Amino acid sequence: MCGIVGYTGQADVGGILVSGLRRLEYRGYDSAGVALYADGDSELTVVKTSGKIVDLEASMQAELPESKPFSSMGIGHTRWATHGAPTQINAHPHSSDNKEIAVVHNGIIENYADLKAHLIADGCTFNSETDSEVIAHLVQQCYQGDLRAAVTAAVKKLTGTYGIAVISTKHPGTIVAARSGSPIVVGLQDDETIVASDVSAIVSRTKQVIFLNDGDIVTATGGDVEITSMSSTTVTRESTLIDWDVDEIEKGGYDHFMLKEIHEQPAAIATGLRGRLDETEGTVRLGGLRMTPMDMARVPRMILAACGTSYYAGMVGKYYFEDFAGIPADIQQAAEFRYRNPIIEPNACMVAISQSGETADTLAAVREGLMKGATVLGICNVVGSTIARETGRGVYLHAGPEIGVASTKAFSCQVTVLAEMAIMFGRTRRLSASVGREMVRELARLPDIAAAVLEREAEIKVIAEKYAAAEDAFFIGRGYMFPAALEGALKLKEISYMHAEGYHAAELKHGPIALLDEDVPVIVPVPDLPDKEKTIGNMQECRARKSPVIAIATEGDKEIDAYCDDVIRVPRCQEFIAPIPVVIAEQLFAYYVAKARGCEIDQPRNLAKSVTVE
Ligand code: F6R
Question: Ligand 1 mean position to 611 CA, how many Å?
Answer: 8
Residue type, 597: R
Please, where in the chain does CATH 3.40.50.10490 lie? 248-444, 468-602
Q: Residues 478-503: pLDDT tens digits?
A: 999 999 999 999 999 999 999 999 99
354 in contact with ligand 1, CB cutoff 6 A: yes
Confidence bin at 556 (pLDDT 50/70/90)? very high
Please, where in the chain does CATH 3.60.20.10 lie? 2-242
362 in contact with ligand 1, CB cutoff 6 A: yes
SS3 177: strand
SS3 28: coil
Rounding to the nearest 10 degrees, give the CA dihedral for residues 134, 140, 144, 147. 80
> What is the spatial distance between Cα 356 and Cα 607, in angstroms, rounded to a whole number?
14
- 308 has pLDDT over 90: yes
Confirm whether 307 is a catalytic residue: no
Q: Residues 437-448: pLDDT tens digits?
A: 999 999 999 999
Mean pLDDT over residues 270-280, rounded?
94
161 in contact with ligand 1, CB cutoff 6 A: no
- 608 has pLDDT over 80: no
407 in contact with ligand 1, CB cutoff 6 A: yes
Cβ atoms of 177 and 6 closer than 8 Å = yes
Q: Residues 455-470: pLDDT tens digits?
A: 999 999 999 999 999 9
Mean pLDDT over residues 157-180, rounded?
96
**For residue 27, what pLDDT is reported?**
77
> What is the spatial distance between Cα 28 and Cα 607, in angstroms, rounded to a whole number?
6
Confidence bin at 151 (pLDDT 50/70/90)? very high
414 in contact with ligand 1, CB cutoff 6 A: no
Q: Residues 335-386: pLDDT tens digits?
A: 998 888 888 999 999 999 999 999 999 999 999 999 999 999 999 999 888 9
**For residue 39, what pLDDT is reported?**
87
Confidence bin at 565 (pLDDT 50/70/90)? very high
**For residue 243, what pLDDT is reported?**
81
Confidence bin at 606 (pLDDT 50/70/90)? confident
2, 142, 349, 573: which is the annotated catalytic residue?
A: 2
Mean pLDDT over residues 218-236, rounded?
95
Confirm whether 99 is a catalytic residue: no
CATH homologous superfamily for the domain 468-602: Glucose-6-phosphate isomerase like protein; domain 1 (3.40.50.10490)
> What is the spatial distance between Cα 541 and Cα 547, in angstroms, rounded to a whole number?
9
> What is the spatial distance between Cα 174 and Cα 222, in angstroms, rounded to a whole number?
7
**For residue 436, what pLDDT is reported?**
97
Question: Ligand 1 mean position to 4 CA, how many Å?
Answer: 20
**For residue 287, what pLDDT is reported?**
93
Query: Given the CA of residue 311, which atom of ligand 1 is nearest to it?
Result: 10
602 in contact with ligand 1, CB cutoff 6 A: no
The percent of residues above 90 in pLDDT, for the chain, comes to 86
* Inter-CA distances, 103 with 36, 199, 362, 365, Å: 11, 20, 27, 30
- What is the topology classification, in CATH, of domain 248-444? Rossmann fold (3.40.50)
Q: Which class in CATH covers the domain with range 2-242? A: alpha beta
Confidence bin at 187 (pLDDT 50/70/90)? very high
**For residue 249, what pLDDT is reported?**
75
Question: Ligand 1 mean position to 407 CA, how many Å?
Answer: 6
Cβ atoms of 78 and 89 closer than 8 Å = no
Q: Is the pTM of this model over 0.75?
A: yes
Question: Ligand 1 mean position to 54 CA, how many Å?
Answer: 26
> What is the spatial distance between Cα 586 and Cα 582, in angstroms, rounded to a whole number?
6
The percent of residues above 70 in pLDDT, for the chain, comes to 100
When the pLDDT of each residue in the chain is averaged and rounded to a whole number, the result is 94
**For residue 613, what pLDDT is reported?**
73
Half-sphere exposure in the Cβ direction for 382 (13 Å, CA): 22
Confidence bin at 604 (pLDDT 50/70/90)? confident
Cβ atoms of 413 and 276 closer than 8 Å = no
